[in-house]
């Protein structure tokens, strides 16, 4: 399936977004297919060589039963580990009512589990997710997102850079903002000691249910718990340009996570790798993926308590040499462990295995 292929494939794809522009589409299957010259077909009634289904597919569609085509399930989130039974059945009911999933009403994790069993191969995005998936399908492949749309920014070694104003970068979807609330008091204390401003690159509005129902303002999420420092928060609509521009002004990045929410705790290391790509030192919560990657890269990124958040914030804000070395180690990790060649080869391997 790689560069030496003598023919190109037609890949049937049930995407996350009809436009194929969501991050989970453009950074994953669509990225690989375009790089290798294969054709992505979203009309699944047409002839294809292999089928790939995202998390937004109707897992119970008769199409999957009747198709005689190898099936890959691209399962990038931890839906096999729901928050609790009520949340699980509520998600299942909502997807049934919205028409996203047909068939019997049941907890969403049951739908995901059954589809894992149906697939020829399941692609996931972290070793931690793979462990859970292998209980239902032994044929798995770990593949992270491509970050090639984001330029690699070499960090500046200007240790004399003025520190009268420090800009802290956070990037992500509104659904993950609750993590910031967990360190709100810490951020308040740090803001009193240092001149801190917070740039949040995210959507200004979000939907509470299934990413399509009950629209809310993102600012409202922050005002509930960040009222002491909300005047220093700048919400910037997400785009690659906005991310790059704010990173160039940033001092460090932060990724606090609510680890009590399984789907958040099982997230892969994409956001940490992006911050290193942007040339920023980054502090994170002690999720399994961030802990694993931090150890592998030799960086001191993980914070397990409010005291550690304070200590490590202070170290980066006051020791520019240390901050510079942290980024260099992170970018060395990117070059060795997360380059285009590795990523494309993993998709090549996944497709080859599904095709047998």
Token pair recorded at residue 300 = 């001191």
Which pLDDT belongs to residue 64? 87
Range in 30-39, 47-56, 61-70, 73-82 the model is least confident about: 61-70
200-243 per-position pLDDT tens digit: 998 766 666 556 566 667 667 677 767 677 888 888 999 999 99
At residue 4 the predicted structure's pLDDT band, cuts being 50, 70 and 90, is very low
Identical topology for domains 10-146+338-355 and 166-337? yes
User: 166: which strand partners?
Assistant: 196
Which pLDDT belongs to residue 181? 87
Number of Cβ within 10 Å of residue 339's Cβ equals 12
- pTM of the shown model: 0.92
Number of Cβ within 10 Å of residue 141's Cβ equals 18
CB distance 157 to 299 below 8 Å: no
At residue 178 the predicted structure's pLDDT band, cuts being 50, 70 and 90, is confident
DSSP string, 249-275: H-SEEEE---TTSHHHHT--SHHHHHH
Whether 321 shows a pLDDT value over 60: the answer reads yes
Whether 160 shows a pLDDT value over 60: the answer reads no
C-alpha to C-alpha distance for 356 and 351, rounded to whole angstroms: 9
Name the percent of the chain lying above pLDDT 70.
Answer: 91
Name the percent of the chain lying above pLDDT 90.
Answer: 75
C-alpha to C-alpha distance for 23 and 26, rounded to whole angstroms: 5
User: Average pLDDT, stretch 16-29?
Assistant: 95
- DSSP class of residue 233 equals E
Which pLDDT belongs to residue 330? 98
pLDDT averaged over every residue in the chain: 90
User: 40: which strand partners?
Assistant: 11
Query: CATH for 166-337, among 3.40.30.10, 3.50.50.60, 3.40.50.2000, 1.10.3720.10?
Result: 3.40.50.2000
CATH number of 10-146+338-355: 3.40.50
Domain edges within the chain: 10-146+338-355, 166-337
User: Average pLDDT, stretch 6-23?
Assistant: 92
Token pair recorded at residue 203 = 């959507």
C-alpha to C-alpha distance for 294 and 21, rounded to whole angstroms: 30
CB distance 302 to 141 below 8 Å: no
User: Average pLDDT, stretch 109-129?
Assistant: 96
242-268 per-position pLDDT tens digit: 999 999 999 999 999 999 999 899 999
What are the phi and psi torsion angles at 166 (to 5°)?
Answer: -115, 125
Token pair recorded at residue 348 = 């090549």
Question: Of 299, 288, 311, 296, whose CA–CA distance to 78 is shortest?
Answer: 288
At residue 157 the predicted structure's pLDDT band, cuts being 50, 70 and 90, is low
DSSP string, 65-97: HH--S-EEEE--S-TTS-S-HHHHHHHHHHHHH
Beta pairing, strands 282-285 & 252-255: parallel
SS3 at position 49: coil
Helices (H), the chain: 23-26, 29-36, 62-66, 85-97, 108-118, 127-133, 178-181, 184-193, 218-223, 240-249, 262-265, 270-277, 288-297, 306-318, 320-337, 340-355
SS3 at position 285: strand
C-alpha to C-alpha distance for 133 and 128, rounded to whole angstroms: 9
C-alpha to C-alpha distance for 110 and 79, rounded to whole angstroms: 9
C-alpha to C-alpha distance for 81 and 268, rounded to whole angstroms: 14
């Amino acid at each position: 399936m790689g560069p030496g292929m003598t023919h190109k494939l037609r890949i049937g794809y049930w995407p996350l977004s009809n436009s194929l522009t969501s991050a989970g589409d453009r950074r994953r299957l669509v990225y690989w297919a375009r790089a290798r010259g294969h054709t992505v077909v979203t009309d699944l009634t047409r002839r294809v060589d292999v089928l790939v289904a995202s998390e937004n597919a109707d897992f119970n569609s008769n199409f999957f039963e009747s198709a005689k085509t190898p099936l890959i399930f691209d399962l990038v989130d931890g839906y096999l580990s729901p928050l609790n039974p009520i949340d699980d059945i509520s998600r299942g009911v909502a997807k049934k009512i919205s028409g996203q999933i047909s068939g019997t009403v049941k907890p969403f994790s049951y739908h995901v589990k059954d589809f894992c069993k149906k697939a020829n191969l399941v692609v996931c995005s972290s070793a931690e997710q793979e462990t859970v998936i292998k209980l239902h399908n032994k044929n798995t492949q770990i593949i992270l997102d491509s970050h090639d749309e984001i330029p690699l920014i070499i960090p500046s070694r200007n240790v004399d850079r003025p520190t009268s104003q420090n800009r802290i970068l956070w990037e992500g979807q509104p659904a993950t903002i609750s993590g910031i609330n967990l360190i709100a008091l810490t951020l308040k204390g740090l803001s009193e000691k240092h001149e801190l401003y917070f740039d949040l690159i995210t959507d200004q509005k979000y939907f509470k249910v299934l990413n399509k129902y009950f629209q809310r303002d993102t600012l409202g999420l922050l005002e509930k718990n960040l009222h002491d420092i909300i005047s220093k928060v700048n919400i910037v609509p997400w785009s690659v340009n906005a991310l790059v521009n704010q990173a160039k002004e940033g001092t460090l990045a932060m990724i606090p996570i609510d680890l009590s929410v399984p789907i958040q705790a099982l997230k892969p290391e994409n956001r940490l790798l992006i911050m290193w790509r942007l040339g920023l030192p980054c502090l994170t919560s002690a999720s399994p993926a961030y802990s694993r990657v931090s150890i592998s890269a030799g960086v001191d990124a993980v914070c397990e308590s409010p005291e550690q958040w304070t200590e490590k914030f202070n170290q980066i804000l006051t020791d520019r040499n240390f901050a510079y070395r942290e980024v260099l180690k992170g970018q060395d990790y990117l070059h060795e462990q997360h380059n285009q060649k590795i990523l494309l080869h993993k998709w090549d391997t996944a497709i080859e295995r599904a095709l047998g």
